[in-house]
Amino acid sequence: MQDHAPRKRFGQHFLVDRHYVARIVNAVDPAPGDSLVEIGPGLGALTGSLIERAGKISAIEIDRDLESRLRERFAPDCLALHEADALTFDFATLGANLRIVGNLPYNISTPLLFHLAAYDRLLRDVHVMLQREVVARMTASPGTPDYGRLSVMLQARFRVTRLFTVPPGAFRPAPNVESAVARLVPLDDDRPPITDEALFARIVAAAFGQRRKTLRNALSAVCDDAALRASAIDPGARGETLSVGDFVRLANSLVNR
C-alpha cells in the first residue's frame, strides 16, 4: 500500500510514524463494542491498530484507490467502509454514541469540524489530528489572539483539549506545518441552551468577520446598542472579548425580543 501517490486535491499526508500511531490509539483507548468511526483511513496506519483494540470499526474514505486497497486488506467483518466525502456524510446513519477518529486533511479541517459539531448529540468523543494552529484556535480563551469563530462554535458544544503535537517528519509526504491531536467531548447536559442555532451562528460569524470592528458595528445588521446593553454587553467591545456564555445570552435575548 505504500506505493500510493498522495493526491493534493484530497490534502493527503499519511501518518507513518509508529510511535505517534500508538500515542493516538492510546489516547482514544478503544474497547470492544465501541462505535468507532475513522475519517480518512488512508493507508490504514491507524485503522489496523484501532481494529486490533475494538474488533470492528467503520471508516469513511473519499479516495477510490485507497478504498479498494483497504477492502483488500481488511475483511468486511472488521472494517465497514463507506466511500464518501466526510464533509457531506450523514453520521446519523451510523447510530449513536459514536467515537470519531481521524487525521483530517488540513484543507477541509474547519468545515469538517463544523459538520461534526452538528452531530454532537450523537457523539461520545472525537479525536482528530489537525494543523497545530487550528487546534490553538479550537482551544483558545476569550481575549487571546487565537480566539475566534471556531473557538466559540466548538466550545458551545464540546470540551476541547489539546493532547500533544506531531512533527512533520511523522508523515509522508511531510507537511510544511506542525500538527496536533485534539480531543472533543460533547458537553451533553452542560451544553448551553441555544434557542436559535442559526441566529447564534450568524451572530458569532458577524462578530469575528472583521476583528477590529466594535460589536456596535459588526452586529448592526442584527441588533442595536440597546439590545447589546440589555444583555450586559458593551457595544464598544470587540467580539474577541466575549465568552461563549456572552454570545449565547445575546442570541437568546434577541430571539425573545
Residue 117, all three cell numbers: 459539531
Q: What is the pLDDT of residue 6?
A: 46
The phi and psi torsions of 240 (rounded to 5 degrees) equal -65, -10
- pTM of the entire structure? 0.92
Cα–Cα distance, 194 to 247 (Å, whole number): 10
CA dist list (Å): 244 to 19, 97, 153, 176, 241: 36, 25, 8, 32, 10
Instruction: Tell me the one-letter amino acid at 221.
Output: A
10-residue stretch averages of pLDDT, the chain, 257 residues long: 48 80 97 96 91 97 88 95 96 98 89 96 97 97 97 98 96 87 97 96 96 95 95 97 98 88
Q: Catalogue all structural domains in the chain, each as residue range(s) with its CATH number.
A: 8-189 (3.40.50.150), 197-256 (1.10.8.100)
Exposed, middle or buried: residue 52 (CB in 10 Å: 0-12, 13-18, 19+)?
Answer: exposed
Nearest of 109, 160, 123, 129 to residue 45 by alpha carbon: 129
Q: What is the pLDDT of residue 174?
A: 82
Cα–Cα distance, 22 to 48 (Å, whole number): 11
Cα–Cα distance, 232 to 239 (Å, whole number): 14
Q: What is the pLDDT of residue 66?
A: 86
Q: What is the pLDDT of residue 207?
A: 97
